[in-house]
Every structure is written in structure tokens, then in C-alpha cells.
A = this chain, B = another copy of it.
Amino acid sequence: MNPTSEPEFVQIFTTGGTIDKIYYDAKDDYTVGDPQISKLLEEARVNFPYAIEALFKKDSLEMTEADRARIREAVAASPARRVLITHGTDTMVETARALAGVPGKTVVLVGAMQPARFLGSDAEFNIGYAVAAVQLLPAGVYIAMNGEVFTPDRVRKNRERLRFERTEP
């Protein structure tokens, strides 16, 4: 992005994950609800052009190779050069790797460790961070979590520390 020119269009795909989890008392359980990113972008009164398309409402542990192929097709088919994907954190790295090699696009995956509807959630910070990342990074596939940008081959989710970490090459 050139800061003196108008911002580019961003295509946003949502796939579910913790960020969109709501609590259904009727099941004494959480469920993946509607994409929260829509509300978060409205609250932030963002001005750049974007569109949101919900591909799935899944916990990322339930995501299959067929689902990943569908995400890849959606990214490749989009006319947008900048693509943001909200995704569960557990298999975000696998999906990022499955997207490797999509040519000519900046693709950023982002999620949250706490549902967006929770007080003190990391969702709003993470979405803000990922929006800047998808606007500013060169073509490639990236994970934006915990205030850092990672490449898919050099990252893992540390489930004990609840953080994404850089791995050795």
C-alpha cells in the first residue's frame, strides 16, 4: 500500500473458529455463530472498501482437506489482490500452508484465542492488526497473531502458552 493513494479493496472470507463463538445455554456449550468481523469493522468506522463472504462456520479442528481446497479456490477465484481470512487457531497453520503458492495475492489469516463477544477478547486487536497487515505486506501468505506476522513455514501454535511462536527454519 502506498499511504498517499486510496486504499485497495480487501476480500474477507470467514470460516468460523473461536473468534465467532457464542454461548448457547440450551446446549450448555459454545457454537460458532455469525461472523463477528462485520460488527468489528463497523464499530471501527473503517473507510477502506471490503466485502465479507462466509465460507464456513466451523471449529477449525473439524476442517477437512476438502474445506481447505474450497478456501484455496475461493482465494484464487477472487479478483481481489488482498485477502483476509478469519479462521480457528488450531489448524490455521495447516490452512496457511495449503494456500501457499496462490500467485499475486497478499493473503493474511487471523483468529482469536477468546470469542469476540467476550470482555477482554483479543479479537478486535487481532482484526485491526490483520487489516493493516493485509494492506501493507507484499504478495504472500501470512498468519497475523499476537501482534506479529508469521510465514506458514516458520510458525506453530503453542497451546500451553496460548501463543503463536516463530519456529526455527
Report A's interface with B, CB cutoff 8 A.
Answer: 1, 3-4, 6-7, 18, 21, 23, 25-26, 28-30, 40-41, 43-48, 59, 61, 89-90, 113-115, 117-122, 124-133, 135-137, 140, 142, 144, 146-151, 154, 159-160, 162-166, 169
Contact = CB atoms under 8 A, between A and B. Distances in A.
Contact of A26 (B21, B120, B130, B162): B162
Given A119-B118, A121-B43, A147 B25 contact: no
Contacts of A47: 146-148, 163-165
B160 A26 contact: yes
A144 B29 CA distance: 23
Copies in the complex: 4
Contact of A46 (B121, B147, B166): B147
A11 to B, nearest CB: 15
B115 A131 contact: no
Contacts of A128: 124-132, 147
Contacts of A135: 149
A148 B7 contact: yes
Contact of A151 (B4, B28, B140): B4
Contact of A125 (B6, B40, B114): B40
Contact of A149 (B21, B114, B136): B136
A150 to B, nearest CB: 6
Contacts of A165: 47
